[in-house]
Amino acid sequence: MRKSGILASTRRGSPILPGVKKPSLLLVDDDPLISESLAFALAPSHEVTRAPDRAHAVAALRSGLAPDLALIDLGLPPVPHLPNEGFKLIGDLLAHVPNVRILVLTGQNEESNARRARALGAVALVPKPCDPAQLRKALDRALASPGLDRGSEADEANRAIVGDSPAVRKLRSQIDLYAASSFPALIEGESGSGKERVAYSLHHLSARAGDAFLALNCAAISPNLVEPTLFGYAKGAFTGAQGAKSGYFEDAGDGTLFLDEIGELPPELQAKLLRVLENGEYQRVGETQTRVSTARIVAATNRDLRSAIREGRFRADLYHRLSVFTVPVPPLRDLGDDKLKLLDHYRAVMATKSGTQAIVLDDAARERWLGYDFPGNVRELKNIVIRLTAKYGGYRVGLAELEAELAPADGAPRGDDPVARARAELTSGRPFSLDTALKGVEQAYLDAAIEVAQGNMSQAAKLLGVSRSTLYGRLEAAGRGGAKLAPSDPGEGRG
């Protein structure tokens, strides 16, 4: 990692207006001259905290530092000639402070490192040498960008693929390798393992990053609505089609179209999708005009498509078109200590969203967390953290409290004796709020219904025994009104 020439000059900028709080900045670089020069140049506009390496930076985060911005060099001790410590630090920063905007200092001939930094969650790259005035502008842009609202589902997908296990490192390497291609990619993995996050990373690291990323769950909508949803429809094409409407292929433009659960695509549509993959051509329902799509297709499945081919349920030629690149996503049970990294990440995210302090697991609970298989993968882990945060935000969670949220080995739901659970909570010595407890239960059922219905809100409402409008109202009251929903008609969900 080249350290020389970091600053083109060291003149100081204009001081910030009196009474206006400066944004906080964590600066991590092991070269004292560079670190001091940058701190001197940025001091008038930022509250700068310096750290010489990853260990000191993590110690500062654990002691309560929550910077608005972080400016880091990838080459840090003990191996300053390699980017490994810098990559790990990006994950540490996002696990402790999900809202932080991370900018990475990059030298020449470091394109692969820059792409990896973006995949991990860096929002901007700062080339060396850099002018202080340009650096301040980059920091201001990162801080002001509306696309970096950590409370949004879109930004969460843009965040790091958290983890440092060999399986996750291999996954990141494959994403780096395949992102620049325009050929289709097939993501394989169990339900809840993070396939859409991988798809978004492929998009975010590509030249298409500035274009649309659209996702459609092929299992979440009625089979007779898949074709008009994908290809659009003409006015009068079917009952209720009062006007023409574009489909996902058209709306994706030059961006990326992610087709989740592709194995559920009706057989009659598989031939039409194959045509698009072969030459980009498609037609709106009810039209004879041929249109051309330039979007990249990324598909995902939790099924064994090879078995589906042998059983005659999936076309072999479509499979081979989709799987030019294949990206297997590992199940969470195989990721070892990454379970704790994901815990740290999501407990910080949920604390920020709910406005409460993060939960803390005691030693026994952390050991159980590491030993649990998480059959629902990352989705299950996240939902457990949501429930624990709602109940115990800011307090220590013990083994008994955690065990109540985990699925037992036989698959039966926990908590068969709600009175015993309530008694345990009321006698635990922690402050108790009935409203908070009921809200946590309601949120768990809302999440479970939407998950079981695979995003179909009409079906989720039926499962809960409420109307669709009541479900939306409950989601709004729970602060979940912006959640991504699968369309129940060809035009819903895309405006």
Question: What residues does each domain of the chain span?
Answer: 24-148, 166-330, 334-477
Quick one: which H or E segment has residue 177?
helix 166-179
What is the residue whose two structure tokens read 């008038």? 44
Beta-bridge partner residues of 285: 233
| Type of residue at 324 | V
C-alpha 493, offset from chain centre: 19
Q: Look up residue 285 and give its DSSP letter.
A: B
Q: Could you tell me the CATH superfamily of domain 166-330? A: P-loop containing nucleotide triphosphate hydrolases (3.40.50.300)
Q: SS3 of 365, please?
A: helix
Q: What does 40-109 look like in DSSP terms, one character per residue?
A: HHHTTTSEEEEESSHHHHHHHHHTT---SEEEEES--TT-TTSSHHHHHHHHHHHHH-TT-EEEEEE-TT
DSSP E strands, 109-166 = 124-127
First to last CA, the chain: 47
How far apart, in whole angstroms, are the C-alpha atoms of residue 56 and residue 32? 14
How far apart, in whole angstroms, are the C-alpha atoms of residue 414 and residue 436? 20
Q: Do domains 166-330 and 334-477 have the same CATH topology?
A: no
Q: Look up residue 122 and give its DSSP letter.
A: -
How far apart, in whole angstroms, are the C-alpha atoms of residue 263 and residue 114? 34
Residue 270: closest CA among 316, 235, 324, 228: 316
Beta-bridge partner residues of 233: 245, 285
Greatest alpha-carbon pair distance for the chain in Å reads 72
Token digits for 122?
């860096």
Its CATH architecture, for the domain 24-148, is 3-Layer(aba) Sandwich (3.40)
How far apart, in whole angstroms, are the C-alpha atoms of residue 152 and residue 99? 11
C-alpha 81, offset from chain centre: 30
Local confidence pLDDT in tens for the 495 residues of the chain? 444 444 443 333 444 444 557 899 999 999 898 889 999 999 999 999 999 999 999 888 877 788 999 999 988 998 888 888 888 898 788 777 777 899 998 765 566 677 677 766 788 888 877 788 889 888 988 887 543 444 444 444 334 588 889 999 999 889 989 998 999 999 999 988 999 999 999 998 888 888 889 998 887 777 788 889 899 999 988 887 888 889 999 999 999 999 999 998 988 899 999 999 999 999 999 999 999 999 999 999 998 999 999 999 999 999 999 999 999 999 999 999 999 999 998 888 888 777 788 899 999 999 999 999 998 899 889 889 988 988 888 889 999 999 888 876 544 444 445 665 666 667 666 667 787 778 777 877 887 787 677 667 778 888 888 887 788 778 767 654 433 333 333 333 333
CATH number of this structure's domain 334-477? 1.10.8.60
